[in-house]
Amino acid sequence: MAYAFLNNFIPYLAILPFIYAQLSFTTMQMSTITVLGNVLITLLEIPTGSVADRYGRKASTLMGIAFIAAGILFVLLSSKTFAVMLSWMVFQAIGVTLISGADRALLFDTLKEHAQENQYQMICGRFMGLARVSGFLATAVAGVLFKAYGFNVLLIIALAAKAGAFLCILCVTSESSRPRAEKPSYRSVVRLSLTHITRNRVLAYGIALYAILGATGIAWEYRSLIFSTKMTNDPSIVAGLTSITTVIYALALYGSGWVRPILQRDRYRLSFLLVPLAILAATLLPRFLGLAALLVYVFLGGALLPFNDALLNAALKQDELRATVLSTASLVRSTVYSLVVLMFGRLGKYGVATAMAVTSGVLFLICGILLSVGRTTDTGVAPSEAESR
């Protein structure tokens, strides 16, 4: 939990698009940076996932934190040009993929060793919720510090937090985080993981749903721009509104385990479809109505994410492949997200609101198709059957 707090104490993250705008980056340049990071993540997810399964989830997480910290230090000591920000994404992508799947697998392993894996959704929700509380506290001070001292102060704070997160993971003593005496080859880990996914329709469907839910995160990433277009360009107000959404998201994550019966009953009809629909309302409705719709989107996303994560872990039957399979899910998610961000960037010349409205409309259509297909698979139970379970 301490790791979740420190690793996510990143003051600049929530307002990064706003910072890019202050650096005079165009919408296309912003999208290019994001897409580059996601392309690298797509290429590295499975190889780094196999690193975690072969050498230990703890070692992989430590390496990931170190790469991210190195990237922050690089930007801190450099001029804030477009080329520097692109280079930063290389460090960021490597670090994210080394952590992606590894820290969640480490959490699940630790729970399983204490016979508490059935509590994963609730504890993972609290884990994610605490991370968002950390993000809220970081964002709450980000606008004031950025306005008074500039970008470098935010980078220094983030670097110190990463050092603390590194020390926290060093203290983890889970047996599952230690390397095995006999390590399978990279090729066998990747082959077995992909075979496991393709032969498990519940897992494959969960990954597809995970990807679409992740793609709706474009509104989360660019919410500071939505606030600035609907309200004001003042950094303190934009950061304050952004931090409020972080609190709501954290509460939704924390309470995800309590709303599980509702999600079980409605997930194939309403719950997931409401996410892109709320984004569409947030971009089309004026001022406060749009902001209210954005808050609905934030709450829904927070409630659904741990549920979907638990769905993936429950469908995954081979513990030795857990990090690689979860990394594969992240790969699919980042690929879909890259395509969505690229589309958003192309539409940016028509304005942020128009670009977001078209993007959310497309996601609503894809999500509807996916949910319809899901009802014909082993996961597509009718609401009455879900209730009886």
C-alpha pair distances (Å), 52 with each of 99, 112, 265: 9, 17, 35
Nearest to 68 by CA among 144, 155, 186, 147: 155
Residue with tokens 């670097």: 159
Q: What is the per-residue pLDDT for 62?
A: 93
Structure tokens at 203: 């897992």
Q: What is the mean pLDDT of the chain?
A: 79
Q: Which residues of the chain have pLDDT under 70?
A: 173-189, 231-233, 257-270, 374-389
How high is the pLDDT of residue 160? 94
pLDDT of res. 326: 77
State the Cα–Cα distance between residues 186 and 51, nearest whole angstrom: 8
CATH code of the domain made up of 2-173+196-380: 1.20.1250.20
- pLDDT on residue 354: 84
- pLDDT at position 112 is 80
Residue type, 296: V
Write down the pLDDT at residue 379. 45
| CA dihedral for 341, 347, 352, 357, sign (positive or negative) | negative
Give the pLDDT confidence score for residue 143 in this predicted structure.
Answer: 77
For Cα atoms 284, 333, 223, give the angle at the middle one, nearest 5 degrees. 30
C-alpha to C-alpha distance for 350 and 149, rounded to whole angstroms: 33
